[in-house]
């Protein structure tokens, strides 16, 4: 395991320990919230004829540092809502991505769109916490979970009416995800060792993705031709973060990216 990933996971394990001190309250409140809700619209928003966009709100990257000096989660959410993206991904990891759990309800309230909690989920209590933060979907990274954990986390997410977006990096992880109940899968072109990106990762895995799976291509997309490539490969949606966060004009960058989508 590369030092980047090890440090992030160690940090989140410390965070999990703090959550577990109030686990009973978190679980009870989350279950009460589920009882009052209808199904969320995350999957419905992504599953259209044209390729959909999950636009990301991310202040920093462990490998790239600060991505947006004038970072304002609410203002970015308003722009994404104006562009009518399918959903918004929100980084909530605090130490390396400078995210915050509080961004989730803020972004959802401002945009009116489904929100994906993007974090390093290592314990089921984080999924219950995600419910309290009004997440419509949660990222589950297959690479950092055992098969038993992944299966349990998928089941817990669905019980809480949160869509589990299972992130994979190769065909073996794809098989593990599908065999354990995943129906929404993200192929991450960024490796978790050195954080390098290669769009060919998604293009090579695409033929193995079952037709019933809602597929999302993540990371390393920065042109209209990239979008067309993954669309032709059969992906239902793309997740775009750094491209928008580095842009001085998100609106223009969005229109350029999807000019031929």
- Write out the catalytic residue numbers: 56, 58, 118, 167, 188, 218-219
Which tokens in the block code for residue 73?
Answer: 């989660």
Which tokens in the block code for residue 168?
Answer: 């994979």
Q: What's the start-to-end Cα distance of the chain, in Å?
A: 37
> Within 10 A of 253 (CB to CB), how many other CB atoms are there?
17
> How does DSSP assign 145-204, residue by residue?
S-HHHHHHHHHHHHHTT-EEEEEESSHHHHHHHHHTT--EEEEESB-TTT--B-THHHHH
Query: Which DSSP symbol is given to 70?
Result: T
CA 13 to each of CA 6, 93, 120, 157: distance values in angstroms, whole numbers, following the listed order: 11, 12, 9, 20
């Amino acid at each position: 395991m590369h030092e980047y990933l090890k440090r992030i996971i160690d940090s989140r394990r410390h965070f999990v320990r703090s959550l577990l001190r109030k686990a009973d309250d978190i679980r009870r409140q989350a279950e009460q919230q589920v009882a009052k809700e209808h199904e969320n619209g995350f999957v419905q928003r992504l599953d259209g004829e044209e390729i959909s966009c999950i636009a990301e709100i991310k202040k920093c990257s462990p490998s790239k540092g600060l991505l947006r000096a004038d970072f304002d989660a609410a203002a970015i959410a308003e722009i994404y809502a104006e562009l009518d993206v399918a959903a918004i991904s929100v980084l909530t990891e605090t130490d390396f991505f400078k995210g915050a759990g509080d961004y989730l309800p803020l972004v959802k309230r401002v945009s009116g769109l489904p929100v994906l909690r993007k974090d390093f989920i290592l314990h089921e209590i984080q999924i219950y916490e995600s419910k309290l933060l009004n997440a419509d979907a949660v990222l589950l990274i297959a690479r950092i979970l055992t098969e038993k954990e992944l299966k349990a986390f998928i089941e817990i997410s669905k019980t809480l009416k949160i869509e589990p977006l299972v992130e994979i990096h190769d065909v073996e992880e794809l098989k593990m995800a599908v065999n354990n109940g995943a129906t929404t899968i993200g192929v991450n072109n960024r490796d978790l060792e050195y954080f390098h990106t290669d769009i060919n990762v998604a293009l090579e895995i695409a033929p193995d993705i079952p037709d019933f799976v809602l597929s999302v291509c993540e990371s390393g997309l920065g042109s209209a031709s990239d979008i067309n490539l993954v669309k032709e490969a059969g992906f239902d949606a793309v997740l775009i973060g750094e491209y928008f966060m580095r842009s001085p004009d998100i609106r223009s960058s969005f229109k350029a990216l999807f000019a031929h989508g």
